[in-house]
């Protein structure tokens, strides 16, 4: 052991290891504080840096360089500095792991009692090329189901729009994008389900009932649970959820009529109608602030109502005709400002 590498207490004083008893080298209080905080320091004749202490996080009472409020700020800064993508990745990994763990409990795989390891090896060798042969059918099924679901939603939205009362403007999004993108999310999930069932159907057609049974047995053995029953239940939930989502999106719109402003929120129940007498301001802002206070250039059309509600759409350039229409119908001037906060005094 080298001098300065560890410390021991003798006679009520702290000495360096292997220090002769007649050498009263005592560490002063500032050095003790540095030891607790794991700070490298120089002992003069002993020029060996200290190892990390056992305490991974020193008590706050020993921290002389910061107040308790500073510690809270430092902790919050450390968390806030982590990339949000890390949290999203961790959440996805946790959800996937939890799903498969639950599947092993709810959909247990029970292979035939007479099936041996040698028999399983033979079946695995037999079905080794089944997935490759059926892959093209899965892709075709996914495209067909996804596009079909998207087209059906689009046609239903068109019929819904035609059945509405007379209006000057009708918006299904407030981001300036085409409403056709709304149906992409539920259509994508149904496409994934269609891919699996197209894959199963292709194996049944190409390799017969026995081939499908052998393929399912091998897949369940590899997964550790009955994957076919699991995906059947998942299919019901996914298709049902996609239909509910599509129905909610169909009932989500903003309709501007000659004498009133009508909103139907995504999670609302029924329409909410306001006469133009309830409009207090019609404004366009050019910048927004994030949660961290950072400024970004993003134009927004803002419509304020007497009950404190606010309707926004971005970019404002895409809604310029609506802004002029509202200014004309409400008799309010079209205000322009940099931030929404600047409109409070106007």
* Same structural domain, 236 and 127: yes
User: Per the domain annotation, does 252 fall within a domain?
Assistant: no
Q: What's the pLDDT at 267?
A: 85
User: Per the domain annotation, does 109 fall within a domain?
Assistant: no
Task: List the single range of 61-75, 126-140, 147-161, 228-242 with lowest mean pLDDT.
Answer: 61-75
Close Cβ partners of 147 (under 8 Å, ≥ 6 residues apart): 187
User: Per the domain annotation, does 309 fall within a domain?
Assistant: yes
Q: Is the pLDDT score of 71 beyond 50?
A: no
Q: What is the domain extent for residue 279?
A: 271-343
User: Per the domain annotation, does 103 fall within a domain?
Assistant: no
* Same structural domain, 130 and 183: yes
Q: Is the pLDDT score of 191 beyond 50?
A: yes
Q: What's the pLDDT at 92?
A: 86
Residue of higher predicted confidence among 281 and 41: 281
Last residue within a domain, chosen from 226, 243, 260: 243
Q: Is the pLDDT score of 63 beyond 50?
A: no
Q: What's the pLDDT at 95?
A: 86
Neighbours of 231 (CB within 10 A): 17
Q: What's the pLDDT at 289?
A: 85
User: Per the domain annotation, does 260 fall within a domain?
Assistant: no
* Same structural domain, 202 and 125: yes
In sequence order, what are the beta bridge partners of 297? 287
Last residue within a domain, chosen from 227, 243, 259: 243
The token duo for 66 is: 């910061």
* Same structural domain, 236 and 288: no
User: Per the domain annotation, does 83 fall within a domain?
Assistant: no
* Same structural domain, 232 and 124: yes
Tell me the pLDDT band of 146, cut-offs 50, 70 and 90: very high
Tell me the pLDDT band of 87, cut-offs 50, 70 and 90: confident
Total of domains in the chain: 3
* Same structural domain, 224 and 150: yes
pLDDT, averaged across the chain: 80
User: Per the domain annotation, does 308 fall within a domain?
Assistant: yes
User: What string of DSSP letters covers 43-54?
Assistant: -SS---PPPPPS
Q: Is the pLDDT score of 80 beyond 60?
A: no
* Same structural domain, 130 and 225: yes
Q: What's the pLDDT at 98?
A: 87
* Same structural domain, 71 and 122: no
What percentage of the chain carries pLDDT values higher than 90? 56
Tell me the pLDDT band of 113, cut-offs 50, 70 and 90: confident
Q: What's the pLDDT at 79?
A: 52
Residue of higher predicted confidence among 65 and 194: 194
Is the C-alpha dihedral spanning 13, 15, 17, 23 positive or negative? negative
Q: Tell the burial category of 52 from Cβ atoms under 10 Å away from its Cβ (0-12, 13-18, 19+).
A: exposed
Q: What's the pLDDT at 75?
A: 45
* Same structural domain, 237 and 128: yes
Q: What's the pLDDT at 36?
A: 41
* Same structural domain, 276 and 229: no
pLDDT tens for each residue of 254-271: 999 999 999 999 887 889
Q: Tell the burial category of 142 from Cβ atoms under 10 Å away from its Cβ (0-12, 13-18, 19+).
A: buried
User: Per the domain annotation, does 128 fall within a domain?
Assistant: yes
Q: What's the pLDDT at 82?
A: 63
Torsion of CA 169, 174, 175, 179, to 10 degrees: -70
* Same structural domain, 156 and 68: no
What percentage of the chain carries pLDDT values higher than 70? 76
Residue of higher predicted confidence among 307 and 43: 307
Neighbours of 222 (CB within 10 A): 11
């Amino acid at each position: 052991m080298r001098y300065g590498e560890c410390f021991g207490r003798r006679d009520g004083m702290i000495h360096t290891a292997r220090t002769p008893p007649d050498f009263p080298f005592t560490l002063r209080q500032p050095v003790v504080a540095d030891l607790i905080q794991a700070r490298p320091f120089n002992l003069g004749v002993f020029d060996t840096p200290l190892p990390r202490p056992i305490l991974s996080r020193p008590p706050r009472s020993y921290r002389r360089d910061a107040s308790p409020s500073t510690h809270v700020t430092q902790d919050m800064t450390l968390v806030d500095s982590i990339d949000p993508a890390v949290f999203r990745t961790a959440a996805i990994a946790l959800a996937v792991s939890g799903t498969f763990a639950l599947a092993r409990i709810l959909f247990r795989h029970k292979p035939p009692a007479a099936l041996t390891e040698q028999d399983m090896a033979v079946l695995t060798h037999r079905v080794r090329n089944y997935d490759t042969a059926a892959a093209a059918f899965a892709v075709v099924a996914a495209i067909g189901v996804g596009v079909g679901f998207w087209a059906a939603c689009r046609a239903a939205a068109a019929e819904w729009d035609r059945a509405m009362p007379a209006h000057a403007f009708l918006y299904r999004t407030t981001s300036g994008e085409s409403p056709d993108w709304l149906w992409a999310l539920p259509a994508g999930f149904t496409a994934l389900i269609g891919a699996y069932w197209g894959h199963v159907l292709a194996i049944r057609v190409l390799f017969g009932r026995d081939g499908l049974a052998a393929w399912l047995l091998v897949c369940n053995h590899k997964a550790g649970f009955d994957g076919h029953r699991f995906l059947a239940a998942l299919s019901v939930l996914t298709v049902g959820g996609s239909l509910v989502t599509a129905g909610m999106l169909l009932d989500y719109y903003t309709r501007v009529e000659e004498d009133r402003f009508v909103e139907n929120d995504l999670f609302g129940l029924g329409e909410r109608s306001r006469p133009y007498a309830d409009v207090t301001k019609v404004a366009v802002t050019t910048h927004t602030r994030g949660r961290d206070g950072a400024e970004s250039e993003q134009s927004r059309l803002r419509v304020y109502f007497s009950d404190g509600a606010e309707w926004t759409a971005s970019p404002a350039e895409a809604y310029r005709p609506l802004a002029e229409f509202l200014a004309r119908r409400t008799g309010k001037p079209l205000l322009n400002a940099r931030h929404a906060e600047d409109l409070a005094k106007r």
